Structure 1
Amino acid sequence: MSAARQVHGAGGQPHALGPELARGGEAVVHPLLGRPGELAKLYQVARPEMREKLEHMRAHPPDDPARAHGHASIAWPRELLFDARGAFVGYTMTRIVDAAPILDVFNPRRRAQLLPGFDRRYLLRTARNLASALSALHEAGYVVGDLNERNVLVTERTLVTLIDTDSFQVQRQKDGQIVVYPCPVGRAEYTPPELQGQTFRGLLRRPEHDGFGLAVLIFQLLMAGNHPFRGRWRGSGEPPSLEAKIAAGQFPWAAGPGADLAPPPGAPGLDQLDPDLAELFLACFADGHDRPAQRPSAEAWSEALEQAEARLAVCGQGHAFGGHLRRCPDCGGRAERR
């Protein structure tokens, strides 16, 4: 049996790598033998600017809102790694176990299989924890840039973790100037209208850009997995792409009866949401379409989600639903407690 490959910490201490866990276009992830709570991310080509970026991130971590629960809501870089010659090769990060991608949480069928006890209360709490993590990042001066369903993990306790933190946009002072390390990637489904079709490499992102992606994820969590810009096309010709609908601000839940795009058949209406949450979605996807500054902040989402959970009602079948509704949308039963 061959010896395990080794990398080294900044002080020269060796770390043995376990078998490869995941591989992407730029890096490979390994477990660290003897350190079950950590992973190593090793770059196939380790650029010098990445070392500078990670050193700054290590020295300036955000305040993690889940630290009191013994959980990392942001998989922050912990230690830089080097090869035997001292060349930078990657970094270590917290290993998150027993967690599912947020896609498995907002997709009703997957959620029923993996997390059958996740009701509306849990979905609201998941959304709030996500908003709180993003708010902490923004408060510390960071921008995710590529916020999407692939880089958010959720535990059965509704705790979330943002991963792939090395792609976050980072700013720092260097020789009296501000140096920006941009986020070079993005998913069109979570990209705001003003950035659709743009090249992300070198693009300066702002918190309101993250705010759009956050609102999409929260909408998917609370609206049975529906994307806010997908719907039933009723206009002439071929339906536009999702990217085109986002760019045009075609939010079907805010459209009138004669609009070209209607919500998907069977999709819940905004009236099933807590009224304050419905207003935030309208502020983001309608009012904020061409006025990004109007989009709700992550902090505003966190506060509204906490209040919406506190206002939930429960019917005789145990279904949690919005306290503003007279009857449970799942079974028609009346609220027995609030």
Structure 2
Amino acid sequence: MPTIKQVQTLEGKSIEYIDEIIGSGTMKDVYFTTDGKHAVAFFREPLDSHSLERLEMIVGSYYEGIFKSGHGEYWEQLFCWPSAIVKEGSRYGVLLPKYDRHYFFEHGSINGDFLGIKGGEKEGKWFSTPTNRFGRLDERERGDWRIYLRLCLMIARSVRRMHSAGLAHSDLSYKNVLISPSSGHACIIDVDGLVVPGKFPPDVVGTPDFIAPEVVATTHLAKEHPQRVLPSRHTDRHALAVLIYQYLLLRHPLRGRKIHDEEDPSVDETLAMGKEALFVEHPFDDSNRIDAQYAKKEEQFWHDTRKLPYTITGPYLSKLMEQAFIEGLHDPHKRPTADDWERALIKTVDLVVPCENPQCIAKWYVFDNKQKPKCPFCDTPYRGKLPVINLYSDRGGNGKFMPDNHRIMIYKDQSLFAWHISRDVIPNERLEVSQSGRVGYCIYHNNEWLLVNEKMEGLYDYSNPSNIQQIAKGKAVALVDGLQLVVKYNHSTRLLLVQLVEGS
């Protein structure tokens, strides 16, 4: 039986923990506390004064600013953030919240968990390659493509919050992000080494595959060299873009066929990920395309960029991928921010439609704005009429509606929320409880699509200006081509213009 030990926080509070290592990372050993709610992570190496000062700020002013500022409960779901420093003899550690149980595999791998990972942590790497996601994980652990959009949204939102506080993670990768596709949760971990620009430099340069090219290209220089580039918010932006690209397309954006040094693999790697880094889907330079024919069988489909180009992610994400891997790959200031990704992902979630093929590995796909849409993952065409709601807003209060560059695909049980009927409402941590419930939903009945008004007080049919009809709560309106619905919500007015797309 492991013994129970006691340790104190720097504030003098006693913490009991079980003297049995339950996990180890690059720098720390982790133990569970006896209350079942926390863990203690001890650093194996002594901390210098700068490292201790950084920890004090992370558990102090930064913790207070993020978790005690009115939206703390929301961020507690997205971060595993230390709340106190503990000391035992000469070694220091941090007190952390225990991971929620949905971050541990319930079913594990295929064939009765032949890999023995049941009960283990859902580290992001398990979901970032076709071999892992489809070749090794139990089907119940995998999730569908829409879930990964939502997980990417949570990760982008977390990074946005860190950056807005003036912090950088410095090692953002699938090692330090836990995701649970089966339950729809994501959490950023290992935040005790956060970078405070100009005050606390990074402890590590990052994880291979996620290190920004400018960091890789200057790793041979001394840390104090004026041309050495260290992790920052700009390098976090590169890592975030790589994470999103990998989770959605299951391939790396820079690992293609191009060889830079045939004699020395380490030099070739440094050039490929650093100075000579090139997007595998660059529109004007195909020298680094992926040779899908040489990939593993389960990876060939995902590595075929002609069959499955980045543009299948839709117009909003495609634009940011170009910005991240073409314009901003070697120009950090041009990289999209976490806020850019968050906004694009919110809109993209509204662009997906369910695939009609029950065997489809993705289950969902982005509407490609074509007259006869089909799933890019299995080529199954959409059958029937696909209603699309285009959103416009009256921004000047003068009755002139301007396009919001936001569309909603309609499918069975699709819901409308406050952020769909008001441009002023954004579905993030500031969303009020009264704004979180659905205000309407869509059904297919008697060969026509209907929008049922549940909670919209001011919903009107403006299709015929001389005969404006109010759609009362509890009533439905048929979604016909050209239908113009105007909804008034608080102080905003939005136009919902319906378009019907004919499938096969």
Normalising TM by the smaller chain, what interval? Answer: 0.7 to 0.9
Q: Indicate yes or no: 2:282 matched with 1:243.
A: no
Which amino acid in the other structure matches residue 46 of structure 2?
A
Matches of 1:68 and 1:322, distance apart in 2:
32
Matched residue, 1:332: 379
Matched, 1:49 2:38: no
**What amino acid sits opposite 2:199 in the alignment?**
V
Q: Is the CA contact 1:46–1:90 (under 8 Å) kept in the aligned structure 2?
A: no
Show the counterpart of 1:253. Answer: 281
Amino acid in structure 1 at the alignment position of 2:366: G
Whether contact under 8 Å (1:32, 1:40) holds in the other structure is yes
Name the structure 1 match of 2:213: 193
**Equivalent position to 1:103, from 118, 122, 125:** 125
| Contact 1:313/1:335, CA 8 A, preserved across alignment | no
Q: Give the direction of change, closer, same or farther, for the CA distance of 1:29–1:139 in structure 2 (3 Å limit).
A: same
Summarize the alignment of residues 269-288 of structure 1 with structure 2, pairs less than 5 Å apart. 269-288=309-328
Aligned-residue offset at 1:251 = 0.9
**Residue 79 of structure 1: aligned partner:** 84
The match for 1:7 is 7
Q: What secondary structure is seen at the aligned counterpart in 2 of 1:227?
A: coil
Question: Identity across aligned pairs (percent)?
Answer: 21
For 1:91, the equivalent position in structure 2 comes to 94
After TM superposition, give the deviation of residue 95 of structure 1 in Å: 1.4
Contact 2:50–2:200 under 8 Å retained in 1: no
Contact 1:284 1:296 in 2 (8 A): yes
Structure 1 pair 208–234 and aligned structure 2 pair: CA distance change class (3 A): closer
DSSP 3-state at the match of 1:169: coil
Counterparts in 2 of 1:332 and 1:260: CA distance versus 1, 3 Å? closer
What residue number does 1:320 align with? Answer: 364
Q: How far apart, in 1, do the equivalents of 2:357 and 2:129 lie? A: 22
Residue 23 of structure 2 corresponds to 22
Give the Cα–Cα distance (whole angstroms) in 1 for the partners of residues 380 and 23 of structure 2: 47
C-alpha displacement at 1:104, in angstroms? 1.4
Deviations 1:80-107 (A, max 9, x none): 1122x6x562110111133111111222
- 1:120 is aligned with what amino acid? W
Unaligned residue ranges in structure 1 (runs of 5+): 172-177
Cα distance in 1 for residues equivalent to 2:174 and 2:141: 20
Equivalent position amino acid for 2:282 in 1: A
Distance in 1 of aligned mates of 2:170 and 2:309: 29
Give the distance between the partners of 1:58 and 1:212, measured in 2 at CA.
26
Amino acid at match of 1:186: G
Q: Does 1:158 align with 2:162?
A: no
Structural RMSD (CA): 2.8
> What is the aligned partner in structure 2 of residue 121 from structure 1?
146
The alpha-carbon deviation at position 181 of structure 1 amounts to 3.8
In terms of fraction of residues, the more helix-rich structure is 1
> C-alpha distance in 2, partners of 1:80/1:89?
7
Q: Structure 1 residues 220 and 2 mapped into 2: Cα distance closer, same or farther (>3 Å)? A: closer
TM-score when scaled to structure 1?
0.86
2:241 is aligned to 215
Amino acid at match of 1:102: G
Deviation at 1:236, TM superposition (A): 10
- The answer to whether structure 1 residue 304 and structure 2 residue 324 are counterparts is no
Instruction: Give the conservation status (yes or no) of the 8 Å contact 1:132–1:298.
Output: yes
Change (3 A) 1:66 1:128: farther
For the residues of structure 2 that align with 1:15 and 1:306, how far apart are their CA atoms?
41
